[in-house]
Chains A and B, each alone.
Chain A
Amino acid sequence: MVEVWEAPRCLTVVGRESEAAPEALRMDRALTRRPAVDRRLDGDRVLIDVTGKAMYVLNPTAWTIWQLCDGRHSADQIVRELVRRYQVEEAAVGSECLAVLRALEAAELVVEVDR
């Protein structure tokens, strides 16, 4: 069954006390999640970053992106996986997916790792 594509959104509800300036996202490096508490809110998911005292709301598509940051997928591979799952054009999902990945990286919820 094909999932319905909705533009991914990562909404900052409470910002980190010290926002680090994000480095440019490297497309070929694997991404992994930092520990965060997650909760359901209606159809969305809430990430509570206890260490950074921050909170974010992710819509279902952004939540999929977050789940794909599993230490095995790079940004390039995540975009391709979204294209496969949602059966949409890469041109349609690429920039929106990268915007969410940059937001997650800036929030220090996602970091690049060596595979």
Chain B
Amino acid sequence: MNDAALLQLSNGAAATDTTSVQAMFELLDARVRVISASVGLLRQWSILYAGFRTRPGPADVTVVVSSPGDAEQPIPGEAAVIAGEVVRPWTGSEPLFPPLWVPPLDHWLCLRGTAVGRAGQAVLLLSDSSADRTLLAVAMVARGAWLLADELVPVDPDDLLVAPFPKSLRLDREALRLLGIDLADPALVPFRTTDREIEWRAEPDALVGARSSRVAADAGAVVFLEPHDRTEQPRLVPLPPREALTRLCGELHRVPTGFQTGMDALVRLCSRTPAYSFACGSPGRSARVLDEALLV
């Protein structure tokens, strides 16, 4: 598909196109329209980002997938992202959706982690292991915290506010058991992983109701989760700002396009926000320690 054809698609000519499907999302203050010849891909994104679906309208960014069929993975060279008049072919070096690498979405500092909050203050739980941090976050929500973001924590580099990012939660059987959630809960949608295991997706609003926050919060603490034996006592250890900065950079989803602005923001964040290393114990005990130390 050439640039002119892509632009024509993004301008609405696709309305008469019976071979593709469309959806509109609102992500981090940007309206993103997806036009996909792959039904499977759009279905998958609609499940993962159900909380971001919105009514159709003018788009800031358009994602066009030309590869047909029901494949759930996009193919490099067969997709492009249009921002303004600029068409950017997708090469596969970054995730196609959400297109955090094009303006205006590339303005955000995105960290790998989860954020929970209370009274306008957010605690960022950062680690590579999504299972542990999601479990801990949901355990904290069970104690009364709000869930702000999971998997990706967007931070505004200007005011350092943490934006809500209600991506669907991924929970395994053990997590549901520990959290006392019945497998038949209507919020849960089962799926089979690539390892042929069964796990569940749940939209935050459906699982935790009003405790899924859609309001930005100030970054009150940054917590780096350490692998730890669940039978041991959780340990929260303060980190000096220089170490926090190093570790924060390691948890960046991508190096910011505005390098100086992004790095400046990280330095400011580390200067004013306490950071900790946290060796988790059981989810319940860990949630209590974090809640009492950082949120109550």
Residues of chain A from 36 to 91 with CB closer than 8 A to chain B in the complex: 37, 39-42, 44, 46, 48, 50, 53, 55, 57
Is A11 among interface residues, defined by CB-CB distance under 8 A? yes
Is A113 among interface residues, defined by CB-CB distance under 8 A? no
Interface of B is mostly: helix
| Chain A residues positioned under 8 Å from B242 (CB to CB) | 11, 41-42, 44, 57
Is A4 among interface residues, defined by CB-CB distance under 8 A? no
Contact at A48–B246, with CB atoms within 8 Å? no
Is A13 among interface residues, defined by CB-CB distance under 8 A? yes
User: In the complex, A46 Cα to B267 Cα: how many Å?
Assistant: 8
Query: Size band of the A side of the interface?
Result: 10 to 19
User: In the complex, A48 Cα to B249 Cα: how many Å?
Assistant: 13
Max chain A C-beta neighbours (<10 A), residue from B246, B259, B264: B259
User: In the complex, A40 Cα to B264 Cα: how many Å?
Assistant: 10
Query: Size band of the B side of the interface?
Result: 10 to 19
What is the total of A-B residue contacts with beta carbons within 8 Å? 43
Interface of A is mostly: strand
Partner of A41, one of B245, B255, B260: B245
| Chain B residues positioned under 8 Å from A13 (CB to CB) | 245-246, 249
Max chain B C-beta neighbours (<10 A), residue from A40, A41, A44: A41
Contact at B245–A53, with CB atoms within 8 Å? no
Contact at B255–A39, with CB atoms within 8 Å? no
Chain A residues at the B interface, C-beta cutoff of 8 Å? 11, 13-14, 37, 39-42, 44, 46, 48, 50, 53, 55, 57
B296 shortest CB reach to chain A, Å: 27
B256 shortest CB reach to chain A, Å: 10
Is B263 among interface residues, defined by CB-CB distance under 8 A? yes
Is B19 among interface residues, defined by CB-CB distance under 8 A? no
Contact at A42–B255, with CB atoms within 8 Å? no
| Chain B residues positioned under 8 Å from A57 (CB to CB) | 242, 245-246
Contact at B255–A53, with CB atoms within 8 Å? yes
Given A14-B255, A41-B271, answer yes or no on A48-B245 (Cβ-Cβ < 8 Å): no
